[in-house]
Copies of this chain bind each other. A is one copy, B any other.
Amino acid sequence: MPELRQDPITKKWVIIATERSKRPSDFPIKQDKKKGGNCPFCKGNEDKTPPEIMAYREQGTNRDTPGWWIRVVPNKFPALQPGASEPEKQNFYLTRPGAGAHEVLVESPEHNSSLANHSTQQIREIFHAWRDRYQALVNQDEIKYIQIFKNEGAVAGASLEHPHSQLIATPLIPPVVAEELTGSQSYHETQGKCIYCEMIKQETQEKTRLVAENEHFLVFCPFASRFPFETWVITKQHQASFEEIKDEQLQDMSEIIQGTIQKTAGLLNYPPYNMVLHSAPVGYNNAAYYHWHLEIFPRLTIVAGFEWGTGIIINPTPPETAAKYLREVSIDHGQEKEELSWQEIH
């Protein structure tokens, strides 16, 4: 019998479709061959992007020239742009200027690198830069929410293959975040606790959905997983906003995310995936009920007519099965393969 499971925060149901139950080998991944070539994010091509907003670079090197290891630039085709954003009635409808920001964070000067094969130090620099840009943008007028995300692979929405993440700052609290706030605030009002902290406690006790753990972070497959092999990376310490992440947490976050990506890569042959930050809106840093985390999901299934019509997502792989595979996969495989391609590009 298939099972309906409710996300305890948003109260949304997913269908765990046991009749379609899927193992890793049931999701054949066709590797996109990286084309390389005329890439605007490669070192030496700095003039192919808008002028850099920020970079971590060797002393004595100039803006918009090589010498950087992390580089942040405005998106050339921005979804939102700086400006004021007053809602305006347009006959029957409501519209407002698309004000905000849209930045690209180039994660490495090397085209063929990835989160699975960077040095842990480089990954730490990426998340350090996420924090820098987050902290810079919360102070800008009009910005209510900062969405940092990573699309890896064409199927997951990456239009450029060079490793990068993106940041879109919005002039309103987005609906997904509003739902999380409503659900977690309501839990806090009735139970006097942070629902995310309670979830950490529950997952640590139950263990069946745990994937990995270190001093500051936990990785688990959520009870109401929407996607096969979906994982959440959550800070054990209560913290509403990613803005407040401390240096020692950054280190642990880098290690555990790299491990998770390597496990997923080893198990599913480097699937396309999205990695999505969920953090408190601007001004909510002290919220006792909200708790920032990252959601990572390989793109193995297709969200089709039923999901769009209902908002109920069908997931063929129970999270307990996914977590068991992820716990047991050796990341040596991934690392070995990756170290090879890492050597190739040097």
The oligomer's copy count stands at 2
* A309 (CB) vs chain B CBs: closest residue: B276
A69 proximal to B (CB < 8 A): no
Does A168 have its Cβ within 8 Å of any Cβ on chain B? yes
B98 near A306 with CB under 8 A, answer: no
Decide: A303 near B305, CB < 8 A? Known: A20-B77, A93-B6.
no
**A212 within 8 A of partner (CB):** no
Tell me how many residues of A have a C-beta within 8 Å of chain B: 75
Interface of A, helix, strand, loop or mixed by DSSP? mixed
State whether B304 touches A95 (Cβ < 8 A): no
Which residues of A (6-46) have their CB < 8 Å from a CB of B?
A: 6, 8, 12-13, 15-20
A307 to chain B, nearest CB (A): 8
Chain A 142-184, CB within 8 Å of chain B: the 1/0 string? 0001010111000111100000001010111011110100000
List 8 A-B residue pairs with CB atoms under 8 Å apart, sorted by A's residue number. Answer: A6-B93, A8-B93, A19-B81, A151-B304, A157-B304, A166-B305, A276-B305, A277-B309
Interface residues of A (CB under 8 A from B): 1-6, 8, 12-13, 15-20, 77-81, 83, 85, 87, 91-99, 145, 147, 149-151, 155-158, 166, 168, 170-172, 174-177, 179, 198-199, 202, 206, 223-224, 274-278, 295, 297, 302-306, 308-312, 314
